[in-house]
Structure 1
Amino acid sequence: MASILFRRQYYVIFGVVAVLFLLFHNVDRDRLSWPDVALPTGNPLPLPRIQHQFPVESDAERNERAIKQRSVKDAFVRCWTSYRSRAWMSDELTPISAQTRNHFGGWGATLVDSLDTLWIMGMKDEFDHAVAALSNISFDTTTVKSVNIFETNIRFLGGFLAAFDLSGDDRLLEKAVEVGNMLYAAFDTPNRMPLTRWNMRAAAHRKPQIADPAVLLAELGTFSLEFTRLSIVTGDPKWFDASQRIIDALQEQQQHTLLPGMWPMVVDAKNMVFDKLHDFTLGSMSDSLYEYLPKTYALLGGLVPKYRDMYEAAMDAAIRHTMFRPMVPDNADILVSGLVTAKQEDGKTVYRRRSEGQHLACYTGGMLAMGGKLFNNQTHLEKGEKLTNGCIWTYKAMPTGIMPETFFMLPCQSTTHCMWDEARWIDAVMDRAEVPPEEATPEKSAALISHKRLPKGFTAIPDTNYHLRPEAIESVFILYRITGRSNLLDSAWDMFRAIDTNTRTELANSALSDVTVTEERPPMTDIMESFWLGETLKYFYLIFSEPSLISLDEYVFNTEAHPFKRLLPA
Structure 2
Amino acid sequence: MLPPASVRKYSAGPLDMVWQCLHHRAYSRNLLSAVFFLVILGGLWYTLIPHSQRSFGDLFGSGKKVGISPEQVSDSEWARRAGEVRNAFLHAWNGYERYALPHDELMPLSDKPIDNFNGWGVTLFDALDTMLLMGLKEEFKRALPVVERANFSMEPGKYAPFFETTIRYTGGLLSAHALSQESILLQRAEDLAAKLDPIFKTKSGFPLYAVNTDTGSTKGTPMGTLAELASLQLEYTYLAKHTGKKEYWNRANAVIQALAQANLTRTGGMFPIRWNLTSGQPLDYHMSVGAQADSAHEYLLKQHLLTGKTDKKNLEMYLRTTTYIISNLLYISPRRHLLYVTDTPSSYAEPGRPTHTLEHLSCFLPGLFALGAHTLPLDDAASMGIHMKTLHDIAPLARSSWEKISTYNLTQLHMWVAEGLAQTCYTSYADQPTGLGPEEMLFLSPGKDADQGTLWIDVLERWRLSAPRTLPPGVGDKVPVVVTDEQRRQGSSKFRDYALKKPGYLLRPETIESLYILWRVTGNAKWRDRGWKIFQAIEKQTKTGSGYASLKTVEHLPPIKDDAMPSYFLAETLKYLYLLFSTEDPVSLDKWVFNTEAHPLPIFQWTPSEREAFGV
Q: TM-score range by the shorter chain?
A: 0.7 to 0.9
Of 188, 191, 199, the match for 1:175? 188
Task: Report the Cα distance in structure 1 between the residues aligned to 2:139 and 2:435, rounded to whole angstroms.
Answer: 32
Matched, 1:400 2:444: no
Partner of 1:430: none
Of 443, 466, 485, the match for 1:409? 443
Partner of 2:565: 528
Task: Report the Cα distance in structure 2 between the residues aligned to 1:197 and 1:66, rounded to whole angstroms.
Answer: 42
Of 220, 243, 249, the match for 1:240? 249
Partner of 2:85: 72
Partner of 2:598: 561
Larger mean Cα displacement after TM superposition, 177-186 or 101-110? 177-186
Of 116, 122, 127, the match for 1:109? 122
Q: What amino acid is aligned across from residue 375 of structure 1 in structure 2?
A: L
1:123: how far off?
Answer: 0.5
Task: Report the Cα distance in structure 2 between the residues aligned to 1:350 and 1:175, rounded to whole angstroms.
Answer: 43
Give the structure-1-normalised TM-score. Answer: 0.79
Of 98, 102, 105, the match for 2:111? 98
> 2:205–2:258: 8 Å Cα contact kept in structure 1?
no
Identity of aligned residues (%): 31
Task: Report the Cα distance in structure 1 between the residues aligned to 2:249 and 2:181, rounded to whole angstroms.
Answer: 21
Task: Report the Cα distance in structure 1 between the residues aligned to 2:177 and 2:214, rounded to whole angstroms.
Answer: 30
1:454: how far off?
Answer: 5.5
Partner of 1:509: 548
Task: Report the Cα distance in structure 2 between the residues aligned to 1:460 and 1:380, rounded to whole angstroms.
Answer: 27
> 1:213–1:271: 8 Å Cα contact kept in structure 2?
no
Larger mean Cα displacement after TM superposition, 296-305 or 318-327? 318-327
> 1:405–1:465: 8 Å Cα contact kept in structure 2?
yes
1:430-454 Cα deviation digits (max 9, x unpaired)? xxxxxxxxxxxxxxxx968427665
Partner of 1:56: none
1:305-336 Cα deviation digits (max 9, x unpaired)? 1110000011111111111122344x5xx421
Matched, 1:149 2:162: yes
Task: Report the Cα distance in structure 1 between the residues aligned to 2:183 and 2:583, rounded to whole angstroms.
Answer: 28
1:497: how far off?
Answer: 0.8
| Matched positions, count | 480
Task: Report the Cα distance in structure 1 between the residues aligned to 2:193 and 2:180, rounded to whole angstroms.
Answer: 19
Partner of 2:367: 366
> 1:218–1:289: 8 Å Cα contact kept in structure 2?
yes
Partner of 1:478: 517
Partner of 1:352: 353
1:552: how far off?
Answer: 0.8
> 1:466–1:515: 8 Å Cα contact kept in structure 2?
yes
1:455: how far off?
Answer: 7.6
Q: What amino acid is aligned across from residue 217 of structure 1 in structure 2?
A: L
What secondary structure is seen at the aligned counterpart in 2 of 1:339? coil
Larger mean Cα displacement after TM superposition, 540-549 or 447-456? 447-456
1:380: how far off?
Answer: 1.7
> 2:195–2:214: 8 Å Cα contact kept in structure 1?
no
Task: Report the Cα distance in structure 2 between the residues aligned to 1:285 and 1:133, rounded to whole angstroms.
Answer: 31
Partner of 2:240: 231
Name the CA shift for 1:231/1:123 in 2 (closer, same or farther; >3 Å): same
1:7-52 Cα deviation digits (max 9, x unpaired)? xxxxxxxxxxxxxxxxxxxxxxxxxxxxxxxxxxxxxxxxx999x9
What secondary structure is seen at the aligned counterpart in 1 of 2:76? helix
Partner of 2:418: 384
Matched, 1:124 2:163: no
Question: Matches of residues 256-295 of structure 1 in structure 2 within 5 Å?
Answer: 256=265, 258-274=266-282, 276-295=283-302
> 2:342–2:354: 8 Å Cα contact kept in structure 1?
yes
1:199: how far off?
Answer: 3.3
Matched, 1:186 2:199: yes
Task: Report the Cα distance in structure 1 between the residues aligned to 2:270 and 2:204, rounded to whole angstroms.
Answer: 22
1:505: how far off?
Answer: 0.8
Matched, 1:309 2:309: no
Matched, 1:336 2:340: yes
Partner of 1:40: none
Matched, 1:89 2:102: yes
Task: Report the Cα distance in structure 2 between the residues aligned to 1:211 and 1:506, rounded to whole angstroms.
Answer: 39
Task: Report the Cα distance in structure 1 between the residues aligned to 2:351 and 2:314, rounded to whole angstroms.
Answer: 28
1:372: how far off?
Answer: 1.4
1:568: how far off?
Answer: 5.3
1:400-452 Cα deviation digits (max 9, x unpaired)? 111100111125646346999xxxxxxxxxxxxxxxxxxxxxxxxx9684276
Larger mean Cα displacement after TM superposition, 349-358 or 392-401? 349-358
What secondary structure is seen at the aligned counterpart in 2 of 1:186? helix
Name the CA shift for 1:157/1:306 in 2 (closer, same or farther; >3 Å): same
Q: What amino acid is aligned across from residue 307 of structure 1 in structure 2?
A: N
> 1:116–1:562: 8 Å Cα contact kept in structure 2?
yes
Task: Report the Cα distance in structure 2 between the residues aligned to 1:528 and 1:100, rounded to whole angstroms.
Answer: 10
> 2:120–2:150: 8 Å Cα contact kept in structure 1?
yes
Q: What amino acid is aligned across from residue 62 of structure 1 in structure 2?
A: D
> 1:481–1:547: 8 Å Cα contact kept in structure 2?
no
1:211: how far off?
Answer: 6.3
1:527: how far off?
Answer: 0.3
Larger mean Cα displacement after TM superposition, 558-567 or 62-71? 62-71
What secondary structure is seen at the aligned counterpart in 1 of 2:171? helix
Larger mean Cα displacement after TM superposition, 243-252 or 290-299? 243-252
Q: What amino acid is aligned across from residue 563 of structure 1 in structure 2?
A: P
Task: Report the Cα distance in structure 2 between the residues aligned to 1:199 and 1:304, rounded to whole angstroms.
Answer: 33
Could you list the runs of 5+ residues in structure 1 that have no partner in the other structure?
1-47, 54-58, 421-445
Partner of 1:214: 223
> 1:147–1:200: 8 Å Cα contact kept in structure 2?
yes
Q: What amino acid is aligned across from residue 358 of structure 2 in structure 1?
A: G
Matched, 1:495 2:541: no
1:187: how far off?
Answer: 1.0
Of 316, 321, 334, the match for 2:328? 321
Q: What amino acid is aligned across from residue 386 of structure 1 in structure 2?
A: G
Task: Report the Cα distance in structure 2 between the residues aligned to 1:328 and 1:125, rounded to whole angstroms.
Answer: 52
Could you list the runs of 5+ residues in structure 2 that have no partner in the other structure?
9-71, 379-410, 446-452, 464-471, 475-484, 608-616
1:339: how far off?
Answer: 0.4
> 2:307–2:606: 8 Å Cα contact kept in structure 1?
no
Larger mean Cα displacement after TM superposition, 145-154 or 233-242? 233-242
1:214: how far off?
Answer: 2.1
> 1:512–1:525: 8 Å Cα contact kept in structure 2?
yes
Give the structure-2-normalised TM-score. Answer: 0.73
What secondary structure is seen at the aligned counterpart in 1 of 2:593? strand
Task: Report the Cα distance in structure 2 between the residues aligned to 1:220 and 1:547, rounded to whole angstroms.
Answer: 35
1:202: how far off?
Answer: 4.9
1:63-103 Cα deviation digits (max 9, x unpaired)? 11012111111111111111111112111111010100111
What secondary structure is seen at the aligned counterpart in 1 of 2:541? helix
What secondary structure is seen at the aligned counterpart in 1 of 2:262? helix
1:271: how far off?
Answer: 3.5
Name the CA shift for 1:451/1:78 in 2 (closer, same or farther; >3 Å): farther
Q: What amino acid is aligned across from residue 320 of structure 2 in structure 1?
A: A
Name the CA shift for 1:190/1:278 in 2 (closer, same or farther; >3 Å): closer
1:369: how far off?
Answer: 0.8
Q: What amino acid is aligned across from residue 168 of structure 1 in structure 2?
A: Q
What secondary structure is seen at the aligned counterpart in 2 of 1:408? strand
1:506-525 Cα deviation digits (max 9, x unpaired)? 111001111111xx321111
Name the CA shift for 1:201/1:135 in 2 (closer, same or farther; >3 Å): closer
